Amino acid sequence: MKIKVRKSSNADLRRNLSRRKIELEAALIESQFSAIDIVNPAEAYLDPETGEMWLPLGMGSNVDVLTLPFRNEGELRLIRQRARITALKNPYAKNLLNSIAAFTVGKGHKYQVTPKKGINPDSSTMAKRVSKQVQKWLDALLRLNKWGKRQRQTVWRYHRDGEVFIRLFFQEDGFTLFRFVEPAEIFTPGHLSGEANCTFGIETDPEDVETPENYFINEDKVGAEEIQHRKANVDLNMKRGLSTLFTIREHLDRALKLLRNMSITVANQTAISTIRHHKATGKQVQSFAAKAAVASQYNKRTGKDQLQGSNPPGAVVDLVDGKTRYEFPAGGLNAASPVQVLSAELRAIASSMSWPEFMIGSDSSNANYSSTMVAENPAVKSIETEQSDHVADDLELLWAAVENAVNVGRLPPEALTLIEIEVESPIIVARNPKDKADTDQTLNTMRVKSPQTIAAECGLDYAQEQANFNEHDDLNLDAGALDGPVTGEAVPASDGDIAKTALNGAQVTALMAVLAQAAGGMIPVESVKPIIQASFPGLDDSTIDRIVTPLQGFKAKPAKPLAIAA
């Protein structure tokens, strides 16, 4: 029996030598370095797609490990860095953060100092005087700290980093400066690393992890009374917050990659208007490609020059494959299909926060603003809840500043007991302006809602608007005295102040309705004057008589029937 021996070709010999060389080099490296330098023992716990660490089974019931994605300050720092990069480079993440800040803060909350409700009537005069004094001081404090811009940055940091550190610098002139502290500056000093109540840069009560006693800023100890710490997306007994972008970062990255791939694919497809195939030999193909190339680059893997071309808009690409035919790539382009996938990714991001999709992708085609931002919508509830949280935190800062102003004598001690600070946040619910105006007018007539509250909801200063009305009335009176009325005689106001007797549109309508009923015989003419006196106490008797007297013997003319063409 003959055995055939396969002869090795030169290519086989080269492959075998190359493989043997690699094996010898690997053995040499392993002899010089320990296995820990070659093999990562944590590789088994890494997610193959994201590269993030999995939690090994059987790690016990350590609360930090099971409830947080970070177990130490290093892992927290890495999560924060990734979130900041995402917020900086991903347009969807930036739009999300901008939307949250815009809806939560808007142009900035409005603050009004008022006497405290339920105080002793004997203290009401003092409370009003102190309220005006504190209001003037508060306005100056907000301007000093650029409060509106600081509020928006607070909300941005709150969601980007998962936490906000604000340090209070109490000044001797009675004001307080509020300044941000970077989360990376809060860490535990090395000599306290073994202390159970000193972790993540915060020293807490040994018996209560929710009560901070000190913060370590670049290893300097600062009392908790000088630091406000706002945490997001964690339980109250957790020392540090977690970025809102942590749970949605993968969706944001995929959405951006999908958008990039869509753009590149569509750009390339639409740039080539026609693919023209030709019949040719191998040498003709090489010659044809060399003439069409605009540049060449050496390929180390193949050892040959690789020709490169360009496809300007409307280009015609020539291919040599033995057949003559034409193709039109743009004809089979379906750009809508990837857009549906992108929209699904954005909806997944929005659903994690109970926010509408247009706050991330700025696309309101699926749900417009007026139908989404209604009182019972989850998005409105979510935003209003966040507004409430930030309002409470802001008031905590402002009251600390008030206390400092009292301690240094800038404000009277009564500022701590007789006044309160009311906060107005941006209105989230979409409203019809006319319906709201009618509702406000009805509530005001019922004496349920004051003009001051209505003005505040409209973003107006009630006192300033009244001053503007008085100035307007004075100008009109001056013009009337100089030029005289256009027709008829001027009716003087009882106190010389037209604002006290002038009727608004609703009151004029109501008065005309009473007069129409009297003229139509539905109510006695003698009852009109008492009705007007009871309903419009601002009108004097002479004015009422001039309105009612013409009704005596007045008969309404019957309306002429409309002529209808045959």
Give start and end residues of each alpha helix (H) in 307-361.
336-351, 358-361
What integer is the mean pLDDT of 90-102? 88
Q: Rounded to whole angstroms, how far apart are CA atoms 496 and 502?
A: 12
Mean pLDDT of 257-268: 77
Tell me which DSSP letter residue 8 carries. Answer: P
Dmax over Cα atoms in the chain, in whole Å? 143
414: tokens are 């009564």
What mean pLDDT is reported for the chain?
A: 76
Task: Tell me the C-alpha distance between 119 and 542, whole Å.
Answer: 43
The pLDDT of residue 501 is above 60: no
More confident residue, 53 or 344: 344
222 pLDDT above the threshold of 90: yes
Between helices 124-144 and 147-160, what is the axis angle to 10°? 70
Token pair 């020059």 is found at: 305
pLDDT bracket for residue 366 (50, 70, 90): low
Q: Full-prediction pTM beyond 0.75?
A: no
Structure tokens given for 558: 């019957």
Burial (Cβ within 10 Å: 0-12, 13-18, ≥19) of residue 357:
buried
Q: Which residues contact 395 (CB under 8 A, 6 or more apart)?
A: 421, 423
Question: Lowest mean pLDDT: which of 219-233, 309-323, 327-341, 415-429?
Answer: 309-323
Stretch among 10-14, 346-350, 367-371, 551-555 having the lowest mean pLDDT = 367-371
DSSP SS3 for 370: helix
pLDDT tens for each residue of 136-168 = 999 999 999 999 999 999 999 999 999 999 999
Which range of 8-22, 92-106, 496-510 scores highest in mean pLDDT? It is 92-106
Report d(CA 230, CA 96) in Å as an integer: 20
124-138, 431-445, 497-511: range with highest mean pLDDT: 124-138
Q: What is the mean pLDDT of residues 305-319?
A: 56
> Which H or E element spans position 319?
strand 315-320
Using CA atoms, how far apart are residues 192 and 219, in angstroms rounded to an integer? 10
Which two tokens mark 19? 């493989």
Query: Can you tell me the mean pLDDT for 372-398?
Result: 81
Q: Which has the higher per-residue pLDDT, 50 or 174?
A: 174
H-run or E-run covering 217: strand 208-217
For residue 281, the one-letter residue type is: T
For 176, the 3-state DSSP assignment is strand
Tokens (6 digits) for 302:
């193949």
pLDDT at 565: 45
Question: What's the pLDDT at 316?
Answer: 54
Is the Cβ–Cβ distance between 297 and 288 less than 8 Å?
no
Query: Does residue 204 carry a pLDDT above 80?
Result: yes
Reduce the DSSP state of residue 323 to 3 states and report it.
coil
- As a whole number, mean pLDDT of residues 233-250 equals 90
Per-residue pLDDT band at 33 (split at 50, 70, 90): very low
Q: How far is CA 109 from the centre of its chain?
A: 14
Report the C-alpha gap between 278 and 322 in whole angstroms: 6
Give strand pairing partners of 165.
Answer: 181, 229
CA 28 to chain centroid, in Å, comes to 58
Q: Quick one: average pLDDT of 541-546? A: 83
Q: CA-to-CA distance for 507 and 451, rounded, in angstroms? A: 16
If you search the block for the tokens 């893997």, which residue do you land on?
Answer: 301
Token pair for residue 242? Answer: 């977690």
Query: How far apart, in Å, are the Cα atoms of 310 and each of 144, 271, 315?
Result: 57, 10, 9
Q: Name beta bridge partners: 166.
A: 180, 228
For the ranges 54-58, 224-228, 251-255, 521-525, the lowest mean pLDDT is seen at: 54-58
Decide: helix, strand or coil at residue 227.
strand
Between helices 378-407 and 124-144, what is the axis angle to 10°? Answer: 100
- Looking at 74-83, 273-282, 415-424, 458-467, which range is the least confident one? 273-282
- Where does the pLDDT of residue 347 fall: very low under 50, low under 70, confident under 90, or very high at 90 and above? confident
